[in-house]
Amino acid sequence: AQKVTQAQTEISVVEKEDVTLDCVYETRDTTYYLFWYKQPPSGELVFLIRRNSFDEQNEISGRYSWNFQKSTSSFNFTITASQVVDSAVYFCALTRGGGGNKLTFGTGTQLKVEL
């Protein structure tokens, strides 16, 4: 069965610090996709990135970067020069087998960025 572990329940940083959110997954599928979502205080989950299991290239989008390492089953998310607007709950998710785009979510990491 799939499992996604986000061991960091809550992280607090000061603005402009870099922060890394960890995501470790378990799956027996050979083809799978990993996702990151952001949930600001307003409540709506916002899709950030999707990565497939055959593409281990790191991805950078502005201040956000993602490091996918199949060898350690990890898909970590780094925010560079954090800002107060980055304060949110971040979820990592993994596709399940059986089609339908169902996901298994981690328990989320609450990020607080303070001035």
Task: Tell me which residues touch other proteins (CB under 8 A).
Answer: 9, 33, 35, 37, 42-47, 50, 52, 91, 95, 99-103, 105-108
Q: Cβ of residue 115: shortest distance to other proteins, in angstroms?
A: 26
Q: Cβ of residue 22: shortest distance to other proteins, in angstroms?
A: 15
Kindly give the residue spans of alpha helices, DSSP state H, lying in the chain: none
| Cβ-based nearer residue to other proteins, 30 or 115 | 30
| Cβ-based nearer residue to other proteins, 63 or 102 | 102
Relative to beta strand 88-95, strand 103-105 is antiparallel
3-state secondary structure of 85: helix
Q: Cβ of residue 7: shortest distance to other proteins, in angstroms?
A: 13
- Give dist(CA 96, CA 102) in Å, integer: 6
| Cβ-based nearer residue to other proteins, 13 or 48 | 48
Scan for tokens 């201040």, then name that residue.
63
Phi, psi (degrees; rounded to nearest 5) at 72: -110, 5
